[in-house]
Amino acid sequence: MVKLRKEERTSVSRGMANRERILALLNHETPDRVPWFGDLDYWYHAAEKAGKLPPKYRGDGYFQLNRDLGVGFYLQGYFAFQQHNPGITFSETISGDQRIRTMHTPKGDLIEVQQYLPTSFSWGYVKHFVDKVEDLPAFRSYLQSLEFTPEYAEAERRKGIIGDNGVVLCYAPRSPFMQMVTTYIGITSLVYLLADAPDEMAEIFDMMERKYDRAAEIAVDSPAECIMIPENLSSEVVGARYYKQYLRPYESKWIKRIRQAGKYSFIHMDGTLKGLLKHVAETGFDVIEAATPCPSGDMTMEEIAAEVTTDTIIWGGMPGIIFTPNFPEADFIEHTQHVLQVMKRKPAYVLGVADQVPPDGILERVGMVAALCDEYGRYE
């Protein structure tokens, strides 16, 4: 294993710009080396909240942070539409470390509870809005109110700021099933509701899809070059049966529409992969983003490479934990070199963080990756 000298660790890559690299790959061409694109958003906002963010990186300095570290830019979660709910109101109270949100609908109130976790600078669900059949009339009332309007100004602004360091990506809505899982119901209650009220749930899914189609069309029509369905998919939560029944029809429809618009389709698959990765690749996305291998994930990079036999690009390979003090620096370098050995065999991979650099991530390590790509990521 080669140990990088200190002066090499934050070197900005020479050769092609990050934008050139990613566009070449998306167009099935070969860039000068494996592209490196990382999501720093989690680390950034935790550092900001903790008062540890250098002043020069505040606000739009975030984009300069990416440049200074040699990291291609593509994310920082952005929806190109605004959601409106005429006739629906929300109220919120904070009680200690809990945030309680109440949705007031003509058919009754629904309550959501989230718990703040100070160590991880994040909120976790304690209770979703919907957890029993009796909640469905109020939830239907909320869905009926949904309206969406375009919000493109941020995409245009980002295009000018990002320049040659990346691409403009925005989110389409999740599939109705995954929006239920991640936000409104949770997987356990959703499974029970599908068993206890199958007809009513089928009607709700149909209604959600009609509403979300409008938002997805707005996203596709935006100035963004890449459109992501941010499913947050994990095979330990959603297996092949649910994927084929509920997710694939929605995703296939929008992959086709994205391609017709001359843009690139992404899916965010940041959990476990076994038993599902192959099915997602066969759906036809241009990119499966945030693919997490061992030691955090359940597949090695070699297994991931063998599983995906389509033209789908795999984007990931760098579990967030390896940027933390819990992972020795020598092992961090060795892991990066190993992943690059797999990725440089053919131009079908983007080295990325899977899925984010965590709050205790060591920023110097982020800056080391571009130099490692220069040294070990050139195609064979």
**pLDDT attached to residue 340:** 98
Distance CA 64, CA 54 (A): 12
**pLDDT attached to residue 380:** 86
**pLDDT attached to residue 76:** 87
**pLDDT attached to residue 14:** 60
Q: What is the pLDDT along the chain (380 residues), one digit of tens a residue?
A: 333 334 433 444 468 999 999 999 999 999 999 999 999 999 999 999 999 999 999 999 999 999 999 999 999 899 999 999 999 999 999 999 999 999 999 999 999 999 999 999 999 999 999 999 999 999 999 999 999 999 999 999 999 999 999 999 999 999 999 999 999 999 999 999 999 999 999 999 999 999 999 999 999 999 999 999 999 999 999 999 999 999 999 999 999 999 999 999 999 999 999 999 999 999 999 999 999 999 999 999 999 999 999 999 999 999 999 999 999 999 999 999 999 999 999 999 999 999 999 999 999 999 999 999 999 999 98
Q: Does pTM top 0.85 for this prediction? A: yes
**pLDDT attached to residue 11:** 41
- Alpha helix stretches (DSSP H) within the chain: 18-26, 41-49, 61-68, 136-145, 153-162, 176-179, 187-196, 198-220, 240-242, 248-260, 277-283, 301-307, 329-343, 363-376
Question: What CATH class is the domain 6-84+146-376?
Answer: alpha beta
Domain ranges of the chain: 6-84+146-376, 86-129
**Cα 218–chain centre separation:** 19
85 within 8 A of 146, measured Cβ to Cβ: yes
Rounded to the nearest 10 degrees, the angle between the axes of helix 248-260 and helix 198-220 is 20
* Angle at 347 (CA atoms; ends 346, 349), nearest 5 degrees: 100
Phi-psi sector, 69: left (phi>0), alpha (psi -120 to 50), beta? alpha
Q: Which residue has 């195609």 as its token pair?
A: 379
